[in-house]
Amino acid sequence: MRMYITVLLRCLLYVSLALMVYDYVRIDMYFEMMGRGYIDEFSVYVSTWRGTFCLIVAILLVVINIIDFIVVKKNKHAHMKEYILTEYDVADERAVVVTGKAVRFAFVFILFYTFLLIGSYMFIPNYFLDYPWYPIFTTASIPVFGLIIYLVTFKYFHAK
């Protein structure tokens, strides 16, 4: 359960950061379009919920990491290097092998997925003003999908 919460919070942190960056880029895009003469005026409403959501998720993630740090520190048989991955179960002997397999699968997916996304950027350079969300959200999707692949493969190999 702890792993699901941690991965969910990490994914939400990337998504909320992408949403905050999108607001900034959208406003910058309007200024660029006005400077090029495409539009004469524009109005913008910037909502604060994206920043608040990002802050809440970041605080929750930090609190959970501090709790995990304290739990690992109290376990006399655990090493501090085991704290690096909060998903890592120090009580399970198979966790080293399972974590290694899950990390390898996630890494291969990230390499392949990143290659495809960067390749897709060459098809839209003229449309960055019209679609500023594309590079932001596709870039944010790299760690999100990597974490999801890690979670799925970890649970799959752990169940075996």
pLDDT per residue as tens digits for the range 79-93: 666 555 555 555 566
pLDDT in tens, 21-67: 888 888 888 888 888 888 888 888 878 888 888 899 989 988 887 88
Distance from first CA to last CA of the chain, Å, rounded?
A: 18
Regarding predicted confidence, which is higher, 113 or 21?
113
Quick one: tokens of 19? 């949403």
pTM of the entire structure? 0.77
DSSP 25-80: HHHHHHHHHHHTTS-S-------SHHHHHHHHHHHHHHHHHHHHHHHHHH-TT--G
Tokens of 79: 């090493």
Q: Is 153 helix (H, G, I), strand (E, B) or coil?
A: helix
Which pLDDT score, from 0 to 100, does residue 64 have? 84
Specify the 3-state DSSP secondary structure of 129: coil
- State how far the Cα of 110 lies from the Cα of 56, in Å rounded to an integer: 27
Q: Under the phi-then-psi rule, with left for phi > 0, alpha for psi from -120 to 50, and beta for the rest, what region is 37?
A: left
DSSP 3-state of 84: coil
DSSP percent split of the chain into helix, strand, coil, nearest 5: 75, 0, 25
